[in-house]
């Protein structure tokens, strides 16, 4: 059968031909897609929340195409400095009490203060969105490996930093949280370095991931910790 053609390909059940119109697939929100009862393998829809085509592979929804921005990027924000206020131990268990880390990277390797490097054909903006300080997403179900490094000078002994990544537009959906002790005491420089694997849920695909930090001490609520010299190495890993 052919629409717009009198000579459809014999291998096709239906062939569409036009030089002025396209084929429009069903469009729906993520909630509407997830309410489809027993979706058939190969079922195709356009998700208006994620702005991507998804097909059902027999067990889960999968993004139709792979982006070109898989790879890695190394970023350094030497200008960023923050006196992060301390919170109580009880508050340190809830990432809603943490502080947003609003990093900003530019793509000018000649600048000795802020610089970024990426593979040929890949821009730093493919990995980190400076406008809202978020790690940018790729495909649903794929993962992002983050190597996070920064300097921390606490004002208290027995202190620690809590690292969290939030994928909500406002605080509330944490996909990673880890407590890192600052082994050097009050007034001493601590080099914090952590490798983090972030699995891309639907909300991550829609919003990206925001770095949030909390500072506390087992000896009581500290004053603040000086944070500086942030480095990120972001690697996007395809699961397909």
Whether residue 68 contacts residue 238, with contact meaning beta carbons closer than 8 Å, is answered with no
User: What is the DSSP secondary structure assignment for residue 238, as one 8-state letter?
Assistant: -
The mean pLDDT value of the chain amounts to 83
Q: What is the pLDDT of residues 116-134, one digit of tens each?
A: 566 666 677 778 888 888 8
| Residue showing tokens 């942030």 | 230
Go through the domains of the chain in sequence order and give each one's CATH number. 2-63 (2.10.10), 71-237 (2.60.120.40)
- Residue 166: Cβ within 10 Å count: 25
Give dist(CA 199, CA 141) in Å, integer: 7
Whether residue 70 contacts residue 237, with contact meaning beta carbons closer than 8 Å, is answered with yes
- For residue 135, the cross-strand partners are 128, 209
Residue 111 has pLDDT above 50, yes or no: no
Whether residue 198 contacts residue 125, with contact meaning beta carbons closer than 8 Å, is answered with no
Considering only 21-25, 51-55, 201-205, which range has the smallest mean pLDDT? 201-205
The predicted structure's pLDDT at residue 112: 35
Considering only 37-41, 87-91, 171-175, 195-199, which range has the smallest mean pLDDT? 171-175
3-state secondary structure of 126: helix
Helix, strand, coil percent values for the chain (each to nearest 5): 10, 45, 50
Give dist(CA 163, CA 199) in Å, integer: 16
- Residue 96: Cβ within 10 Å count: 13
- H-helix segments, 93-148: none
| pLDDT confidence band for 13 (50 / 70 / 90) | confident
Q: For 173-221, give the DSSP string.
A: -EEEEEEEE--S-TT--EEEEEEEEEE--HHHHHH-EEEEEEEEETTS-
- Reference 193, options 155, 157, 229; nearest CA is 229
| Residue showing tokens 């195409």 | 65
Is 0.85 surpassed by the pTM of this model? Answer: no
Residue 205 has pLDDT above 80, yes or no: no
Whether residue 16 contacts residue 8, with contact meaning beta carbons closer than 8 Å, is answered with no
Could you tell me the CA-to-CA distances from 130 to 32, 106, 124 in Å, in that order?
32, 8, 9
């Amino acid at each position: 059968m052919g629409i717009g053609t009198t000579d459809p390909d014999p291998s096709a059940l239906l062939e569409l031909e036009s030089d002025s119109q396209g084929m429009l697939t069903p469009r729906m929100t993520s909630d509407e897609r997830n309410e489809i009862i027993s979706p058939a393998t190969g079922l195709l829809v356009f998700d208006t929340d994620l702005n991507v085509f998804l097909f059902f592979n027999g067990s889960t929804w999968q993004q139709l195409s792979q982006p070109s921005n898989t790879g890695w990027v190394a970023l350094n924000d030497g200008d960023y400095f923050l006196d992060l206020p301390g919170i109580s131990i009880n508050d340190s268990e809830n990432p809603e009490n943490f502080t947003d880390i609003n990093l900003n990277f530019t793509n000018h390797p000649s600048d000795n203060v802020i610089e970024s490097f990426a593979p040929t054909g890949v821009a730093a903006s493919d990995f980190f969105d400076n406008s809202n300080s978020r790690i940018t997403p790729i495909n649903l179900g794929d993962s992002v490996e983050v190597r996070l490094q920064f300097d921390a000078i606490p004002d208290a002994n027995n202190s620690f930093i809590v690292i969290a990544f939030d994928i909500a537009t406002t605080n509330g959906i944490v996909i990673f949280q880890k407590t890192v002790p600052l082994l050097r005491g009050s007034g001493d420089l601590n080099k914090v370095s952590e490798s983090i694997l972030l699995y891309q849920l639907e909300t991550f695909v829609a919003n990206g991931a925001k770095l949030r930090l909390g500072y506390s001490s087992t000896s009581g609520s500290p004053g603040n910790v000086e944070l500086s010299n942030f480095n990120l190495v972001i690697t996007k890993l395809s699961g397909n």
